[in-house]
A and B are shown apart, each in its own frame.
Chain A
Amino acid sequence: MSESTATRAAAATPPRVARKIRGLSDRAIAWLFVGPTIFLLLAINIFPLIWTVRLSFTNFKANRNRPIEWIGTRNYERILTDSDIWLNMQATAHFLFWTIFFQVLIGFTLAYLINKKFKGNDLWTTIIVLPMMLSPAVVGNFWKFLYQPQIGLFNYVVGFFTGKDPSSFEMLGSVDLAPWSIVIVDTWMWTPFVMLICLAGLRSIPDYIYEAAEIDRASKLRQFFTITIPMVLPFLMLAVLFRGIENFKMFDLVVQLTGGGPGSTTELTSINLKREAFEKWRTGYASAYAIILFVTVFGLASIYVKALNKVKER
């Protein structure tokens, strides 16, 4: 009846190994199973993290044959007082805020509409989710052509509706428009993801809650704000978390579209970090940079997850 873990594990293994397992305690068996995973985790996550922290206090350059010098917190001081890096942070914050804002707004609206039963519902769902199935590199190249001032469809459509000459404005070449051009592309690509999460949330609301509200003569608007929004909120917050983390490390799409330009207008922190680490080979400096970004994301995500749990508990 109360067979030990060791006995059950032994029964499921070949006789020679089984004899060895029978001699082990439950705790030892548990370690045997969990050990490889913990080892891998230590080897490929924890050790590099500790190593990066160590390097961040040095002037190490991975492409140079010279002794590593311990320089204390100099890398951190340099990064935190570098106005160019704060501009990269601002560009990242702009990108993060507006992509999440538009994706939540449009994604939720689409989910709300798709959730209504109508003919061709499934077909529309499939069409809407197509962009997120494409590779970011493909999407970047594709939109680069759409934004082309002379032959691009985007400029032509804007020109058609506004009466402007399509070649009179450059989405990717203008300092004012380029930050918005990357927001538009990311929103186009990832709104379907937010829509799917919202749709799952909407479909999880039992019909009887709306029926009870109908009986109580609650208006549609009231039902929306007192039933739909509160019950979908945990799902929405989860979508914001996923998109926030993803967009904080956004690289490929923006590199394809603007390469970080014009100037450094769309040089997000991840692009800047890659340049420091693998083009300039300032390994120590880039390690400090990576640690600062890691602490920022980890800190913000932890606070956010606590808030998310509180919303779920309500």
Chain B
Amino acid sequence: MKSLKLASASAISFAAATFAGASQAEDLTLCWAAWDPANALVELSKEFEAESGHKMSFEFVPWPNFADRMLNELNSGGQLCDLLIGDSQWIGGGAENGHYVKLNDFFEAEGIEMSDFADATVYAYSTWPKGTPNYYALPAMGDANGWFYRKDWFERDDIKAAFKEATGRELAEPETQKELLEVAQFFQGREIDGQTVYGAAIFTERGSEGITMGVTGALYPWGFKYENTPGSYDMEGAVNSPEAVEALEFYKEFYETATPPGYTNSYMGESLDAFKSGQVAMAMNWFAFFPGLYADPNTGGDKIDFFVNPPQNQPGSTLGGQGISVVSYSDKQDAALEYIKWFAQPEVQQKWWDLGGYSAHNAVLESPTFKDSAPFAGDFLEAMANVQDFWQEPAYAELLLAMQKRMHDYVVADQGTAQEALDLLIEDWTEVFEDEGKL
């Protein structure tokens, strides 16, 4: 009799556990920017739908409006997104303002180890306060700012001879920032196949984050630091160091002497257009676009090659990329966490890379075949080893817009000197940190 009771209790417990474990099929919405990797994620997520029974919907917003649209959504406590692949700089605000679900307990319960992902991506995309083991996102899309160029032009004998005559050295992928400028200036205004071409497409956009992302591509290799001591907000002497001034002057010279006419407000789209239309010899852009560029029938394949942002005083690349977070206002958090659990699996991460996404999982990045899996894979690894990111403070938008203004005023509008621009930037940032109570 006793054993019958026990058997009945066990059966009821099992049934209850089974029902409790099988979560209800949900319609999950994942929000991200509208770009090539987003299409790859749609493809990848079909497997999740088949496995879990949940249905995935996607809300992709074009980059120029992405931050505005998504931050408004978060600030208003909107329930549009259950999962959000948000920019790395949002992590501070996402954590402190309660927009993102803290994932530590979930990671622990599901056996997801942050040590399985590249250190730089965990630090940049997942942690707040920076570097502490408090996780608000899983690294989803590794990215950095890199370069691509017209390999077919670089290999032409007439162009190589002209470059040698002009500079005294061989035309090749630049190994320093100054070589980069020299190559760009060489191509500026040159006639190639009856068409006037220009040096390079760089970022100069004023409205969102463009010129900051471009300028930092020069600042970091020169040794730019945001603070003298991390976490102290003492910027005097770091932000406006002689190296920073030199780097900023370099970027302005680059803009003035080696970019196409009218290139005053240009970001990702304009860079891609300039390159694909055969207007420029080189262009800067995020690694995320490189699979699409390589596949382009007109300027891809044999005609294109890639290189990491060249060093100057030290190696340094501007960090892009994002982590995936669960939005705290979602009422489908369990299903959203299921997606993250599924996405964290090494085999899913491998498929993610194969489809054109940039996995940050060590199982993918450390695979012996990774470097040769795409012409830009080795450069990606090199770039990710030396990335630096912008402030990730909750007030990052104020800090970013201040930098946008000061950099555009100096580089494009030719107002003041580099030293003045950086001094004014410190004033702006000091005011922000004072308002935040951090200074």
Contacts and interface: CB of A to CB of B under 8 A. Distances in A.
Given A62-B75, A265-B413, A278-B72, A172 B98 contact: no
Contact of B405 (A62, A172, A255, A263): A263
A56 interface: no
A215 B327 CA distance: 82
B412 interface: yes
Contacts of A172: 262, 264-265
Nearest to A59: B435
Contacts of A280: 397-398, 401
Contacts of A262: 206, 264-265, 408, 412-413
Interface in B395-426: 397-398, 401, 405, 408-410, 412-415
A64 B414 contact: no
21 contacts: A63-B71, A63-B93, A63-B97, A64-B96, A64-B97, A65-B98, A168-B261, A172-B264, A173-B262, A173-B265, A175-B415, A255-B207, A259-B205, A260-B206, A261-B264, A262-B264, A264-B413, A265-B413, A275-B401, A280-B397, A281-B75
A59 to B, nearest CB: 7
A170 B435 contact: no
Given A173-B264, A263-B206, A263-B413, 13 more contacts: A63-B93, A64-B97, A65-B98, A167-B261, A173-B265, A259-B205, A259-B207, A260-B207, A261-B206, A261-B413, A263-B408, A263-B412, A279-B68
Contacts of B410: 263
B432 to A, nearest CB: 9
B405 A150 contact: no
B394 interface: yes
Nearest to A84: B405
A84 B412 CA distance: 17
A72 to B, nearest CB: 15
Interface residues of B, number: 31
Q: Which label, helix, strand, loop or mixed, suits the secondary structure of the A interface?
A: loop
Nearest to A150: B261
A175 B413 CA distance: 6
A278 B264 CA distance: 24
A287 interface: no
A58 to B, nearest CB: 12
Contacts of A260: 206-207
A19 B413 CA distance: 73
Contacts of B71: 63
Interface in A168-195: 168, 170, 172-173, 175
B260 interface: yes
A154 B284 CA distance: 29
Could you say which interface size class chain A belongs to? Answer: 20 to 34
Given A261-B413, A263-B409, A150 B262 contact: yes
A22 interface: no
Contacts of A168: 261
Contacts of A264: 405, 408-409, 413
A256 to B, nearest CB: 11
Contacts of B72: 278
Interface string A258-280: 11111111000000000100111
